[in-house]
A and B are shown apart, each in its own frame.
Chain A
Amino acid sequence: MRTVFLKLGATVLTVATTLLSALYVTSHLKNPAAPLQPSVLSASGASTVSAPGGSLTLGPSVQPSNVQPVTSTYAS
């Protein structure tokens, strides 16, 4: 008889824990708008410059200049 009570108690405890966990999770949904911790710098630092025949996109490590170029890249 005592064994039956122990089994019954364990089953009730397991079911109750499962139900309570599910209830807790559904009432604490993840906020997709939450900020990253730590915050991350924006990866897009690119700028677009108008160029003949297409658009020229410059990443943050390449700067435009007004000086005369010494040479150019071209198709050969």
Chain B
Amino acid sequence: MPPSALVDAHHFEAMGTNCSFFGVGLSRGRLLEGEFWVRRMGARLTRFSPDSELSRFNASAGRWIDISAELEALLRESLRAFETSAGLVNVAVLPSMAAIGYTRPLSFGRPPATEARVGPLPALPDALSVRPGAARLEPGAGIDLGGIAKGWMADRLLESLGPNALANLGGDLSAGGIGPAGTGWPVGLAGVTVLLRDQGAATSSVRRRQWGEHHHLIDPRTGLPARTGLEEVSVVAASGVEAEVVAKAALLVGRELAPVYCATHALAWWLSP
């Protein structure tokens, strides 16, 4: 590897956010293939379109429904995230999102004021069952894959982009290989550059997608927007999806316990009260 190999970059907007690919020696065709895959997956996994695979799954609560291999993998990843975060990361937040009025993209305007009346979320394994090629939601339950989908997709993109590449989907990123200079991929984390090699990074925050007294990050213990004394957490972990799960769990666990949680689950972390 030369001291600083030329980096191929590709930027586009998808899933309501900015996406970027970086790689060394990547062909234009491979970059475009990656973009098309992100767009296809985004269309299938959005909860804002009634025709998406996720919306059809949410609408079929109470019965088994055939699902794609990608949605099955994501649902299994969500169950794993619930388990490893001791229930703090729970994708069954759709009823809470509806209760606080977050039923359409915020780019369409501020959600209407609501009197949120929800309770704690059900344990995900009680609400969601997955078997090969099919899944079932309990009546009344609903899924929003949120950042888990972006972290998972960033990890999958590395498999198609090549061994020395980086995928960033709206701040959820996965970096594979030794980077352009052989020392790792230089990535900004809380204003500091860190070098990532076969690692992922993610940020969880209540500062974005905020309106009135509400924001989008639901605390599964209350079913309401989280108030934990932390407003933003950035994390480096072994993969993009793991970083997403740890960042969200650290923010939810609160200001006092987050340093200990991150010390045992993250490779680097930034906590902002």
Q: Mark B90-123, 1 if CB is under 8 A from A, else 0.
A: 0000000000000000000000000000000000
Q: Are B187 and A59 in contact (CB under 8 A)?
A: no
Q: Are B203 and A74 in contact (CB under 8 A)?
A: yes
Overall SS of chain B's interface = strand
Inter-chain CA distance A49–B180, complex, in Å, is: 24
**Is A31 on the interface with B (CB-CB < 8 A)?**
no
Beyond A65-B183, A71-B22, whether A56 also contacts B171 by CB under 8 A is no
Q: Are B270 and A63 in contact (CB under 8 A)?
A: no
Q: Mark A49-65, 1 if CB is under 8 A from B, else 0.
A: 10111111111011111
Inter-chain CA distance A5–B199, complex, in Å, is: 76
Inter-chain CA distance A59–B262, complex, in Å, is: 10
Beyond A55-B270, A57-B269, A62-B196, whether A73 also contacts B189 by CB under 8 A is yes
**Is B266 on the interface with A (CB-CB < 8 A)?**
yes
Partner of B189, one of A46, A55, A61, A72: A72
Interface bin, chain A: 20 to 34
Q: Are B187 and A61 in contact (CB under 8 A)?
A: no
**Is B63 on the interface with A (CB-CB < 8 A)?**
no
Q: Are B201 and A73 in contact (CB under 8 A)?
A: yes
Nearest CB in chain B to that of A44: its residue: B263
Inter-chain CA distance A76–B180, complex, in Å, is: 26
Nearest CB in chain A to that of B188: its residue: A72
Inter-chain CA distance A25–B182, complex, in Å, is: 59
Inter-chain CA distance A62–B173, complex, in Å, is: 15
Q: Which residues of B contact A (CB under 8 A)?
A: 7, 9, 16-18, 20, 22, 166, 168, 170-173, 180-181, 183-196, 199, 201-205, 207-208, 232, 234, 236, 243, 259, 262-263, 266-273
Query: Besides A49-B192, A55-B270, A56-B269, 11 other CB < 8 A contacts?
Result: A56-B268, A62-B267, A66-B193, A69-B186, A69-B187, A69-B188, A70-B22, A70-B180, A71-B20, A73-B171, A75-B205
